[in-house]
């Protein structure tokens, strides 16, 4: 099975653990990666869609028969075991991800790939004692945000102190600002173009749009200087 760049990027952020859970697992490719590489002792596949869960069950039927993997059809974390060490939630909106975590439990490690409103996810994680140890944008056709959050260890506490979040980090992601990539620069260029079209189409002056355009240009200029 050939994994997409998006799936490979997500898998690269997963850490070895005891119990791994893939919430909203869809095909189950990330769980397959964890099991094939011996990165977890046990895995849980979770999806609210029985049809999506069936695809993952078919892919991982050998692991399920062996008792190494289990599947649960549920919303969010409802039936995910509380002894899970690491939870992946990818492909949902930021509000939905934050709501799932707020209504469930908070494991030591989270790998999250919100499709929009990553800021809400960042704010939730920081408010709940996590260090955002990875937080960046990448491109696979379209742009994606990817975050890894950890808590409860001395290393997580150290990184939380070193990787301080201000307004810009909340808006754009820590690694995008402090170790920018060409993908992030391309995202900025696209956002500036979108914002310009909205300003041109507006029937009256919109200060919020002008303010966003100014901020995007400032971050773009700084990013391009850092990429040289």
Question: Which pLDDT score, from 0 to 100, does residue 46 have?
Answer: 97
26 and 99, same domain (yes or no): yes
Total domain count, the chain = 2
Residue 199 lies in domain: 182-227
160 and 196, same domain (yes or no): no
Four-point Cα dihedral 208, 214, 219, 221, nearest 10: 160
94 and 195, same domain (yes or no): no
| Interatomic CA distance for residues 147 and 140, integer angstroms | 16
pLDDT in tens, 188-214: 999 999 999 999 998 888 899 999 999
26 and 60, same domain (yes or no): yes
From residue 90, alpha-carbon distances to 94, 148, 178 in Å are 10, 11, 24
Four-point Cα dihedral 109, 32, 140, 166, nearest 10: 0
Phi then psi for residue 107, to 5 deg, are -80, 170
Mean pLDDT within 102-115: 97
Instruction: Flag whether 172 is in a domain.
Output: no
pLDDT in tens, 170-186: 999 999 999 999 999 99
| Interatomic CA distance for residues 38 and 57, integer angstroms | 18
34 and 145, same domain (yes or no): yes
Do the beta carbons of residue 22 and residue 49 sit within 8 Å? no
DSSP 214: H
């Amino acid at each position: 099975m050939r994994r997409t760049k998006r799936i490979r990027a997500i898998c690269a952020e997963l850490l070895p653990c005891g119990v791994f859970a893939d919430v909203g697992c869809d095909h189950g490719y990330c769980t397959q990666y964890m099991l094939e590489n011996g990165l977890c002792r046990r895995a849980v596949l979770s999806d609210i869609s029985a049809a999506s869960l069936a695809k993952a069950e078919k892919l991982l039927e050998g692991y399920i028969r062996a008792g190494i993997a289990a599947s649960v059809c549920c919303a969010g974390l409802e039936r995910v075991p509380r002894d899970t060490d690491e939870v992946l939630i990818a492909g949902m909106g930021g509000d939905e991800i934050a709501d799932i975590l707020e209504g469930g439990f908070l494991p030591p490690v989270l790998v999250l790939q919100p499709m929009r409103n990553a800021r809400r996810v960042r704010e939730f994680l920081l408010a709940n004692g996590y260090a955002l140890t990875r937080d960046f944008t990448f491109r696979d056709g379209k742009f994606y945000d990817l975050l890894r959050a950890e808590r409860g260890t001395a290393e997580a506490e150290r990184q939380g102190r070193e990787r301080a979040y201000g307004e810009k980090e909340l808006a754009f992601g820590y690694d995008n600002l402090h170790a920018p990539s060409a993908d992030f620069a391309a995202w900025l260029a696209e956002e500036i173009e979108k914002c310009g079209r909205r300003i041109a189409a507006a029937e009256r002056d919109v200060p919020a749009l002008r303010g966003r355009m100014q901020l995007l240009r400032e971050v773009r200029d700084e990013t391009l200087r850092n990429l040289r």
